[in-house]
């Protein structure tokens, strides 16, 4: 008799197998017990017929409590009534670990309660499905960038300078000097691009902003590619190819998880069609004004405006060349306009907003030096970054994608916190 995982049940139809499982729910009548089971790979049903098992096994089945762990043996059968398609006719049950008063009962619970019990909620079908898709997005990210010839360069988590400004940094002390939790690995990836041509980082980043929106986290994971000898339009092509690749791989490899979440696959398929629309910031402002949005040129767009723009096209849409005054110091100035920079945000439809921010990077030493000062930063702290413009600077571009925000959009979840494995300390302090 072979020990298997539930996910492999299709390969063992009409075979007797052994599986280690937990009980998620059950119902029983006088002669039959239906056990809802999980093993970490999938969920399916175990059927215990009183006439086919010993009295001890049937009584054990009736008395099982939610999240009891056990070994079961039985024969796998096809089950056309279930989405999974298979079930097990249970023959024996060996309890491994008892469970009493499990807090997450089958009834409805509020999101705050569930996040406070995230260490247990992960066992439930919806967060389990979300984590399966998260894992696929991470796997596909590595596949995409490896296939495209990128080298992964890990940026430090403790830094001495700020790529986005100093107002939203977590401050700490590094022995006798100031240090900050990283808010981006971008500046370091630019150094990497000058050595390896195309690089990316994938790691945690931190923003000290007390936001309570469904889109924001204090701690999240960022994918940040940087590419030498590349202008912005080429970078936009990489960005849309990357997003389409992620979505297609989720469609191809996460069917059961998407079914569990109720995510419409036909909607996702639209997001694999390239190229994505491109509009300028100026055009976006005009579109918003024509549709009764109270928006002035020179401000960043709020959630309703971003939702309108992306939903107008029914696809992710690039908004190009934002005002210089609302973007970071390192972006390349527009060649014919002093008031905008060469950049783009990729806005996701269905109300999820910006999922990518990117730009062509400034290459002129004197211009960048002046911008650092205007941003209220100390050029001495950025001496190494300025060096990149002194020794063989080239046109280069890059972008950043927040994993959790993108995952919230792909899965169709309501809240970005549902896409993190655990409510890490910082995200619990500022929910």
Separation CA 46–CA 66 (nearest Å) = 14
Instruction: Map out the domains of the chain with their CATH numbers.
Output: 2-97 (2.40.50.140), 118-419 (3.30.930.10)
| Per-residue CA distances from 46 to 32, 36, 102 (Å) | 11, 6, 20
Separation CA 353–CA 18 (nearest Å) = 46
**pTM metric for this prediction:** 0.92
Cβ–Cβ < 8 Å for 329, 377 = yes
Cβ–Cβ < 8 Å for 242, 144 = yes
DSSP states along 276-298: PPEEEHHHHHHHHHHTT----TT
| SS3 labels along 143-205 | HHHHHCCCEECCCCCEECCCCCCCCCCCEEEECCEEEEECCCCHHHHHHHHHHHCEEEEEEEE
Predicted local distance difference test score (pLDDT) of residue 426:
45
| Per-residue CA distances from 201 to 156, 189, 286 (Å) | 10, 7, 36
Strands 86-97 and 16-28: unpaired
Strands 16-28 and 69-78: antiparallel
Separation CA 58–CA 19 (nearest Å) = 18
DSSP classification of residue 334: P
Q: Give Dmax over CA atoms of the chain in angstroms.
A: 85
Q: Is the peptide bond before 109 cis (omega within 30 degrees of 0)?
A: no
| Per-residue CA distances from 306 to 102, 239, 311, 317, 380 (Å) | 41, 18, 8, 10, 37
Q: Left if phi > 0, otherwise alpha if psi is -120 to 50, otherwise beta: which for 392?
A: left
Predicted local distance difference test score (pLDDT) of residue 431:
36
| Per-residue CA distances from 256 to 20, 157, 253, 356, 417 (Å) | 21, 36, 9, 27, 22
- Match 């791989």 to its residue by tokens: 249
Separation CA 218–CA 200 (nearest Å) = 22
Predicted local distance difference test score (pLDDT) of residue 211:
63
| Residue 52, both tokens | 């086919």
Strands 151-152 and 198-206: parallel
What string of pLDDT tens digits covers the 431 residues of the chain? 999 999 999 999 999 999 999 999 999 888 999 999 999 999 999 999 999 999 999 999 999 999 999 999 999 999 999 989 999 999 999 999 999 999 999 888 988 898 889 899 999 999 999 999 999 999 999 999 999 999 999 999 998 766 665 557 888 888 988 888 888 899 999 999 999 999 999 999 888 877 666 667 788 899 999 999 999 999 999 999 999 999 999 999 999 999 999 999 999 999 999 999 999 999 999 999 999 999 999 999 999 999 999 999 999 999 999 999 999 999 999 999 999 999 999 999 999 999 999 999 999 999 999 999 999 889 998 999 999 999 999 999 999 999 999 999 999 988 766 677 765 544 544 33
């Amino acid at each position: 008799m072979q020990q298997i995982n539930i996910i492999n049940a299709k390969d063992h139809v009409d075979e007797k197998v052994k599986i280690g499982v937990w009980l998620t729910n059950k119902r029983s009548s006088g002669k039959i017990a239906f056990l809802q089971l999980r093993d970490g790979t999938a969920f399916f049903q175990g059927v215990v017929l009183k006439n086919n098992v010993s009295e001890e096994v049937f009584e054990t089945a009736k008395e099982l409590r939610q999240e009891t762990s056990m070994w079961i043996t039985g024969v796998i059968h096809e089950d056309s009534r279930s989405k999974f398609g298979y079930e097990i006719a249970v023959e024996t049950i060996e309890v491994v670990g008892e469970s009493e008063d499990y807090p997450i009962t089958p009834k409805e619970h509020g999101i705050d309660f569930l996040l406070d019990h995230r260490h247990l909620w992960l066992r439930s079908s919806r967060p389990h499905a979300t984590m399966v898709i998260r894992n696929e997005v991470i796997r596909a990210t590595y596949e995409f960038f490896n296939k495209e010839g990128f080298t992964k360069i890990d940026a430090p988590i403790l830094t001495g300078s700020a790529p986005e400004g100093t107002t939203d940094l977590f401050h700490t002390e590094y022995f006798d000097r100031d240090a900050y939790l990283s808010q981006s690995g971008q500046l370091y990836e630019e150094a990497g691009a000058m050595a390896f041509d195309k690089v990316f980082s994938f790691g945690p980043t931190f923003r000290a902003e007390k936001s309570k929106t469904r889109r924001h986290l204090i701690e999240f994971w960022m994918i940040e590619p940087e590419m030498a000898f590349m202008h912005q339009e080429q970078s936009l092509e990489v960005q849309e190819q990357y997003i389409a690749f992620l979505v297609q791989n989720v469609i191809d490899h996460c069917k059961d998880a998407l079914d569990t979440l109720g995510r419409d696959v036909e909607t996702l398929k639209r997001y694999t069609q390239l190229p994505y629309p491109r509009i300028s910031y100026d055009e976006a402002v005009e579109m918003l004004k024509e549709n009764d949005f109270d928006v002035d040129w020179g401000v960043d767009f709020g959630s309703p405006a971003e939702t309108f723009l992306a939903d107008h096209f029914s696809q992710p849409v690039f908004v190009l060349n934002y005002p210089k005054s609302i973007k970071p110091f390192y972006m390349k100035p527009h060649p014919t306009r002093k008031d905008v920079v060469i950049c783009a945000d990729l806005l996701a439809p269905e109300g999820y907003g910006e999922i990518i921010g990117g730009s062509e990077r400034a290459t002129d030493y004197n211009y960048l030096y002046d911008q650092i000062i205007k941003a209220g930063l100390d050029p001495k702290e950025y001496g190494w970054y300025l060096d990149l413009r002194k020794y063989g600077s080239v046109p280069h571009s890059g972008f950043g994608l927040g994993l959790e925000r993108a995952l919230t959009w792909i899965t169709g979840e309501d809240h970005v916190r549902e896409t993190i494995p655990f409510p890490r300390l910082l995200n619990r302090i500022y929910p």
